């Protein structure tokens, strides 16, 4: 999973209560197609499972982490915390070049550190100033600004109001197990 930092963001979003496709997209600010690919990958690895619950308007399909998924998330959080701690220690040592190299090496996981609340944004901002860089050099714009006012819901026409049927095959918009209707 190390090559896939967004996987950790999706796992964390599910733990935090985003158990439906549209909620995961909104929480993570990751594109629909990428979330779909990530969910397929996580399901194939046994990290998430689709559960069906009874709802007021019929059955509701939700995602949940498996025990293996919960353990994977904890391991990845620990690794990210160690990476952040290393960056802080390098910053405290005053070595700009070493800090720049460390941040470049960890560029792909910095947004995950922010998303998971591992990174102290004030300290990160201070580090960027120390190196004479803008925060956008390491954090994508969509992660820095609140886009909660944007409508990211996608009505699927299903009675579960979940933004997409996670079922395995009603034939409409099937994207390999996670039906997404645009």
- Per-residue H/E/C for the chain: CCCCHHHHHHHHHHHCCCCCHHHHHHHHCCCHHHHHHHHHHHHHCCCEEEEEEEECCEEEEEEEECHHHHHHHHHHHHHHHHHHHHHHHHHHHCCHHHHHHHHHHCHHHHHHHHHCCCCCHHHHHHHHHHHCCCHHHCCCHHHHCCCCCCCCCCCCCCCCCCCCCCCCCCCCCCCCCCCCCC
Confidence grade of residue 72 (pLDDT, cut at 50, 70, 90):
very high
Confidence grade of residue 155 (pLDDT, cut at 50, 70, 90):
very low
| Mean pLDDT for the stretch of residues 67-93 | 95
* pLDDT at residue 160 is higher than 50: no
pTM: 0.68
pLDDT, one tens digit per residue, over 13-61 is 999 999 998 999 999 989 999 999 999 999 999 999 988 888 788 888 8
Give residue 156's pLDDT: 38
| Mean pLDDT for the stretch of residues 55-75 | 90
């Amino acid at each position: 999973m190390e090559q896939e930092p967004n996987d950790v963001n999706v796992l964390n979003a599910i733990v935090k209560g985003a158990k439906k496709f549209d909620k995961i997209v909104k929480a993570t600010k990751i594109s629909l197609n990428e979330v779909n690919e990530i969910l397929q990958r996580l399901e194939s690895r046994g990290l998430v499972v689709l559960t069906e619950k009874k709802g007021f308007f019929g059955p509701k399909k939700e995602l949940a982490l498996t025990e293996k998924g919960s353990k994977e998330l904890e391991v990845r959080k620990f690794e990210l915390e160690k990476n952040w701690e290393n960056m802080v220690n390098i910053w405290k040592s005053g070595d700009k070049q070493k800090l720049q190299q460390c941040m470049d090496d960890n560029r792909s996981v910095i947004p995950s550190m922010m998303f998971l609340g591992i990174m102290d944004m004030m300290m990160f901002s201070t580090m960027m100033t120390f190196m004479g860089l803008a925060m956008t050099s390491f954090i994508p714009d969509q992660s820095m600004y609140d886009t909660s006012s944007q409508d990211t819901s996608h009505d699927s026409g299903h009675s579960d109001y979940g933004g997409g049927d996670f079922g395995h095959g009603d034939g409409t918009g099937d994207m390999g197990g996670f039906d997404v209707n645009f």
